Each structure stands twice: as C-alpha cells, then as structure tokens.
Amino acid sequence: MLKLQSLIGLPMIDQASGRRAGTIQDIWFDEHWQLAGMITRASRWGRRGMTVLRWRHVAACGEDAVLLHEQALEERLPEGEIVRCFHTGLVRLRNLPVMTLGGLQLGRVSDVYFHQDEGTPIVGYELTDGFISDLREGRRWLRIAAYPDQVTLGEDAILVPARAEQDLEQATSNR
C-alpha cells in the first residue's frame, strides 16, 4: 500500500532511457475518485492548463522515483478538465472533512492510501484533528475499502457510515 503524499515531489524516470521526465507536482483523480494521473506542470503566466501524465504510464512507484513505461507521453489538458486533485484543482482531497452519516466529524484528510496495481482506487485515509492532537495522539487511519458502496466523496465533505467511528477507534488502538 502506498501513501499518496510520498509521490509528490518525486522525479519521474523513463524506464527505457533512464532520462528524467519531470517531477510530480500533484495527483489528479477521475470522477470516480480513482487515480487518473500525475500533474507535472501547472499553469504559468498566460498559459492555461496543466501538463499531465496518465496513471497508465506508470511502471512502478518506488521510494525515490516513479518509473514510467517507454511510451509515456505528457498531455496538456485545460484546467477545467482537472477537477479533483490532492492539493490543487476545484475539489481538493487534502483537508476535506470526513463525516459520519450521523453528523460526527472524524477528522480531515491528511493523506491517502492506495494500491498501485489494483486499478488505483483509494483504500483509506489518514486523518488529522490538528497539529496538537497529532502530536499527542497521532494520526488515525480509516480503511474505506471496508465500505465499498457506502462512501460519498463530495466537493465539501466525505461521508462514511456511522460505524466508521468504531472502526477508526479500533484502528487507532491496535497500532
């Protein structure tokens, strides 16, 4: 399982030539919140859009670099097409509140866990309650794969079943 934030800032290396293809600036998600690609360059003065590499071009994700298949091609997409991202975009996953259907806020998204080789769905969130709480109690982990059709990823909040509160507490106490 990989943490999404560990990819941001990593160099992308062409597997065939060993040439650096760029640096990951952000991660972009499709409308189903699956990893769609990596943003390599954002808008610059007067130039609209973002330069991206689609996730299908990733051969491997390591601690120090992301390796790309031989035919990896960057694309320039209009900003309006890149809606859901981790740091940027119209809908930002980072810092979204995670709420139960009972109205209880479990925390805010600090990081995202996913499996590189399984269609890149999000499998869990690392949650924060703020700096002081993180220092005292640590961050908590919520495995959303346990609720396949019961998670709503909205523009302003992520909604999970009420039982997620108990699952979150168990995950915290079993660390």
Mean per-residue pLDDT, 47-71: 85
Where does a domain end: 34, 68, 91? 91
Does the pLDDT value for residue 28 go beyond 60?
Answer: yes
CB 79, CB 49: distance < 8 Å? yes
Does the pLDDT value for residue 8 go beyond 50?
Answer: yes
Structure tokens at 158: 């992520």
What is the rounded distance in angstroms from the CA atom of residue 106 to the CA atom of residue 114?
A: 20
61-111 pLDDT, tens digit each: 889 999 998 777 788 887 677 888 898 878 899 999 999 999 999 999 999
Shared domain for 114 and 62, answered yes or no, is no
Domain that holds residue 111: 95-173
pLDDT of residue 64: 94
What is the rounded distance in angstroms from the CA atom of residue 86 to the CA atom of residue 2?
A: 15
Give the pairing type, strands 20-23 and 152-153. Answer: unpaired
157-173 pLDDT, tens digit each: 999 999 998 887 655 55
Where does a domain end: 51, 73, 91? 91
Shared domain for 132 and 144, answered yes or no, is yes
Shared domain for 30 and 110, answered yes or no, is no
Domain CATH number, residue 51: 2.30.30.240
Quote the number of domains for the chain. 2
Residues across the chain: 175
Q: pTM (2 decimals)?
A: 0.81
Residue in the block written with tokens 């601690």: 63
133-155 pLDDT, tens digit each: 777 778 888 988 888 789 998 88
